[in-house]
Structure 1
């Protein structure tokens, strides 16, 4: 019984730690597009310039996208088949946990020696969109979205994780 309890505790801890670091992904695409025709890419500067993130993180994202697309057999080109653009959103989540109680216990009444043991946590949830645009038609043919919590620690690794997870969905219907 004790062994079962320790395994359960370990599994619960594993689920909690992996759920905090995971990236939830989704993608959508034009069902009429023939993704076998796309072999080259370039970054769509107009779209990328509109992304509301700092230039350092922007470069990190673009380097990660370039590495992933190159690994999939794409070539960067001056005359690309696909234009790559990005868009970002974020929201801050503030949680306040009030663990306050006074020397007189819980309940009604005035407590002159009441102390407050509140804890405030802040998390930033970010969304990264990667758009693939047919360069000749100037039409969006694929969009991947990754949502997850951001961290100031190991930022480059976290960005790489977002991009890798999103681009696992490209091309649509590909076997993993």
Structure 2
């Protein structure tokens, strides 16, 4: 019992950190597609070229996707069953925090008499860039979308190691949903 109590705080911390992923992911897929038939993949250059992101980040994303697919047992091929494409979007997210405590109202306000008092009533504005990454998996023969994953999260990072880790986090969280579990 003492051993169990000893590891409980560490376990709770791990659960708390795991549940606080800062990337929101979703996936959609073609229910008619038989994902057991797909064994090989290649990148779809025309689709990737249209992604509005710099070439360095494209390569980071593609390396992360390739690593995830290979870890799942897929093989990169010149004659693939599946094509991989990406699409990116970014939005500015503006959060306004109103710290309206103190004298921010009509009424008697100390030295100035009757009227509007601003006091500690200040707004704080925070702006961050929120990015979306879409990974499209396309049936190579039919040229039809069979699976799409999307990930949304903050992109603000100037540190290259953190940026690369953030991209890997986006891709790995999304690829947890592939192949779909058809139940």
TM-score where L is the length of structure 2: 0.75
Change in CA separation of 1:173 and 1:98 when aligned onto 2, cut-off 3 Å: closer
Write the mapping of 1:60-99 to structure 2, written as runs, cut at 5 A: 60-99=60-99
- Aligned: 1:147 with 2:152: yes
Tell me, yes or no, if the aligned pair for 1:85 and 1:131 is still in contact at 8 Å. yes
The superposition leaves residues 98-120 of structure 1 with CA deviations (integer Å, 9 ceiling, x where unpaired) of 54899xx4433367x97885432
Q: Give the SS at the match of 1:48.
A: helix
Tell me the equivalent position of 1:41. Answer: 41
RMSD of aligned Cα (Å) = 2.8
Q: Give the SS at the match of 1:126.
A: strand
> Which whole-Å CA distance do the structure 2 matches of 1:67 and 1:44 have between them?
16
Runs of 4+ in 1 over 2 A off after TM superposition: 95-102, 105-111, 113-120
Listed as ranges, the gaps of 5+ residues in structure 1 are 1-6
Aligned length: 160
- Aligned: 1:125 with 2:130: yes
Change in CA separation of 1:172 and 1:99 when aligned onto 2, cut-off 3 Å: closer
Change in CA separation of 1:114 and 1:43 when aligned onto 2, cut-off 3 Å: same
Q: Give the SS at the match of 1:70.
A: helix
Change in CA separation of 1:174 and 1:32 when aligned onto 2, cut-off 3 Å: closer
> Which whole-Å CA distance do the structure 1 matches of 2:168 and 2:70 have between them?
14
- Aligned: 1:156 with 2:164: yes
**CA deviation after TM superposition for structure 1 residue 39, in Å:** 0.9
- Aligned: 1:31 with 2:31: yes
TM-score where L is the length of structure 1: 0.78
Listed as ranges, the gaps of 5+ residues in structure 2 are 1-8, 107-114
Change in CA separation of 1:41 and 1:93 when aligned onto 2, cut-off 3 Å: same
Tell me, yes or no, if the aligned pair for 1:132 and 1:140 is still in contact at 8 Å. yes
Q: Give the SS at the match of 1:66.
A: helix
> Which whole-Å CA distance do the structure 2 matches of 1:150 and 1:135 have between them?
31
**Which protein has the larger Cα radius of gyration, Structure 1 or Structure 2?**
2
Higher mean alpha-carbon deviation, 117-126 vs 65-74, is at: 117-126
